[in-house]
Structure 1
């Protein structure tokens, strides 16, 4: 993996979906860069057009937006996962959402225009990202169904199951907004556990 050693965690993540041949791996490594962002800073601000897909190497981030002046957390990304504002990534339009870093964090940024150019030369890279985007789509559908069909308490339990250390790492106000409840309601639910 020569010069891609610094991106080994990213390629290990890709291997879960599909193993790339060395040439495709090298081409992908050439469009990646390391990014370090301090806690509470925006990785991408609201109104920015998303042209980078980020892999969380260390730390965590959240996608957020404002609704009627209230800050809402849409999703979290922890180590060994990707984060991007896909509605902006695929349309090329500025996003109404931002990405905020919740801990000092290290990312690997993948240039999306360069990535999309690689699709023609390396069909396996296109196949890899299709699988990644399909998995993300299923995750989004599951989240919507969870909001529609499960109580706040069930959503809280599920969040603890999938991200057990979230309470130590994420401010409660962000967890509450992610669950679609007030901090008071979250405190009541937490008191039961």
Structure 2
């Protein structure tokens, strides 16, 4: 196994989801590169075609899009979380969304095409990434259901319960757009909680 501590962290996390053989670990590590991004730097711009799967090692990432010139946050990623533009990756079409880090971050990049080719020889890697994609899909559905069925205050409370570190790391502007409310509404909700 690679002596790189960031890759060790990633492989340990993956191994909790799907046991990996030494051969699969070595094959996967051969594709991984570790990249540093500075606060507010984009990993992938709007209009780019996603060809890479990213995992947060440290820092916070987000996926956002522009609606009437205003940034709307769709997703936050914390350490040990996947961050990709799946609709772009799987259709190989330009994305209407961007990936950005919100603080200095360390990210593992895995090029998708070589990874997909590994699936033929390393079935546990295919199972691992299927499970990771399923988890991300379920999280997306939960977020949509929260917007459909919960009030703004309930969404905020649920977010704080599930991700308490969020409020300390992410601007209220981004939290409000993630919740589907204005920053004024979020301030009002937070004021009621005090």
- Normalising by structure 1, we get a TM-score of 0.97
1:51 aligns with 2:55: no
Structure 1, unaligned runs of 5 or more: none
* 1:4–1:26 Cα contact (<8 Å) kept: no
Matches within 5 A, 1:41-190: 41-190=41-190
Asked if 2 retains the 8 angstrom alpha-carbon contact of 1:4 and 1:29, the reply is: no
Whether the aligned pair in 1 keeps the contact of 2:63 and 2:100 (CA below 8 Å) is: yes
| Runs of at least 5 residues in structure 2 that lack an aligned partner in the other structure | none
Contact 1:59/1:105, CA 8 A, preserved across alignment: yes
Question: CA 1:112 to 1:37, structure 2 compared with 1: closer, same or farther past 3 Å?
Answer: same
TM-score, normalised with respect to structure 2 = 0.96
RMSD: 1.1
Distance 2:133 2:45 in 1: 22
SS in 1 for 2:120: helix
Whole-Å separation in 2 of the counterparts to 1:172 and 1:80 = 23
